[in-house]
Amino acid sequence: MKFKKTQLLLAAAALALGACGPKPAVRGPEHQSQAAPKVYYVNPEPYKSLRFAPPPAPGSLEQQADIAGVLAWQNKRTEEDCARARRTADEDYDAFWGGRSPFPEPPPAELKEFFVRLAGDLEASLGKMKKRYLRPRPFMAYSEAQPCIKKPKSFSYPSGHTVFSRVYALVLADIVPDRKAEFFAKADEIAQDRVIGGVHYPADIAAGKAFGDLYFGELQKSEAYRRDIERLRALLAK
């Protein structure tokens, strides 16, 4: 997900991982010795080989159904649908509150700092998953697929916006459990808008949700994550 408050910080890491653009040119030895990004909660290395269902094979019946789903939305979406998809593509964790933040105003600095750490780890893991499958986006594989939102340069599987929104919804529900349904509804809206906008297949969305759930399970095993969640709960508005 392209989150406005963290995108500048994460751009360099995403490019380095190949998650948000073409594979960079081969670097000289002076660049290859750079330190790996810091891991805060979840080590991204296992995601190089973690068992995970692949996308539909090119030419398969599943692939045909997947592109049919994209084109069905393309044929019925409205300009209002496209405008919403453009908006949700840029939303951050604070959009999940729906204008009713449970934190004091202005938001505590610890909240933003936590999500920067979370996003850094998640982007690194997602980058390794995308590099495993290298699935072209619909508009890259089919000339008839015409997005109505900005065309990403990264690969399609699993959907990054879906992964991020799913994990964010789970984390926010960990902080404010009684608003879980609201957070999940927002995550589902963000995910579906990627198909409506024409930049993802339905299978990318399903995989993004599955990966988000799997990732959150690993996140909960982290003592650092649990400590940070307890700190954020203590900062909720009284």
State mean pLDDT over 14-27: 31
Q: What is the pLDDT of residues 116-133, one digit of tens each?
A: 999 999 999 999 999 999
Omega before 177 within 30 of 0, i.e. cis: no
Band of the pLDDT at 36, cuts 50, 70, 90?
A: low
Compute the average pLDDT of residues 55-71: 97
Tokens of 193: 């808008």
Residue 10 has pLDDT above 50, yes or no: no
Query: Which of 12-16, 142-146, 183-187, 218-222 has the weakest average pLDDT?
Result: 12-16
pLDDT of residue 47 exceeding 60, the answer is yes
Tell me, what's the pLDDT at 1?
54
pLDDT at position 35 is: 55
Nearest Cα to 41, choosing from 209, 204, 179, 170? 170
Buried b (16+ CB within 10 A) or exposed e, 80-108: ebbebbeebbebbbbbbbeeebbbeeeeb
Q: Give the pLDDT of residue 4.
A: 43
pTM reported for the whole predicted model:
0.85
**Mean pLDDT within 171-179:** 97
The answer, yes or no, to whether residue 70 has pLDDT greater than 90, is yes
How much is the average pLDDT of 63-79? 98
Query: How far lies 151's CA from each of 3, 4, 69, 89, 156, in Å?
Result: 16, 17, 18, 11, 11
Cα angle value 140/142/148 (rounded, 5°): 70
* pLDDT for the residue numbered 166: 98
Mean pLDDT of 25-48: 64
- pLDDT, average across residues 134-141: 97
Q: pLDDT tens, 188-207?
A: 999 999 999 999 999 999 99
pLDDT in tens, 72-118: 999 999 999 999 999 999 999 999 999 899 999 999 999 999 999 99
Question: Mean pLDDT across the chain, nearest whole number?
Answer: 87
Give the chain's domains with CATH numbers: 7-14+67-147+156-234 (1.20.144.10)
Count Cα atoms within 13 angstroms, Cβ side, for 63: 14
List the helix and strand counts (H, then E) for the chain. 10, 0
| Mean pLDDT, residues 22-48 | 60
At residue 238, the pLDDT reads 85
